[in-house]
Structure 1
């Protein structure tokens, strides 16, 4: 699995991150799993065509004891398996990594 990992976060950092993820409504169906909405304008052609059946599209973020890991797989919440589910393109990857970096920066967490 391709992912973006940020490690060595403090307990206070993790509390702040989890609180903000909950505040934004990103909570997933399992403990420590969050769904980061994927921007509509960044969808590839097939994902756009499948949006009604397979969307909304998300990236999964997992919180650990002192880390967060964002999978770089664009998933549809409407279907578990479909040809539209794919790894991020370089442009998508860069935008989503920037999103997570900015999210952390807004919480004044040095990484």
Structure 2
């Protein structure tokens, strides 16, 4: 899996990140997994054409000492489809900016 990973998160920072993610994206389901909706303007042509598969998400996985942002853009309604694929450059940059902005807003130094 292609990911953007920030590791060596301190316990007090874990709590700040968890609180932010819970408030912003809803409480985590399984194993600290958060679903971040992808802005429709960033969807690929195939994703835009697959209205039945929408909405599209990327996953953030928060562990006790790391945050992993998966670069796979997916739908929660299907496991396999042509519209599920790795983020293109625009989507990847958007996701990295979201994670970096969260750490900056929470005043967590990485």
Distance 1:28 1:40, change over 3 A: farther
- 5+ residue gaps, structure 1: none
In structure 1, how many angstroms separate the alpha carbons of the residues matched to 2:24 and 2:91? 21
How far did residue 48 of structure 1 move?
0.6
- 5+ residue gaps, structure 2: none
Aligned length: 110
How far did residue 26 of structure 1 move?
3.8
CA deviation digits over 1:70-100, x for unaligned, max 9? 1100001221211100001112111110111
Indicate the RMSD between aligned Cα atoms, in angstroms.
Answer: 1.2
The equivalent residue for 2:11 is: 11
Task: Give the match's secondary structure for 1:79.
Answer: coil
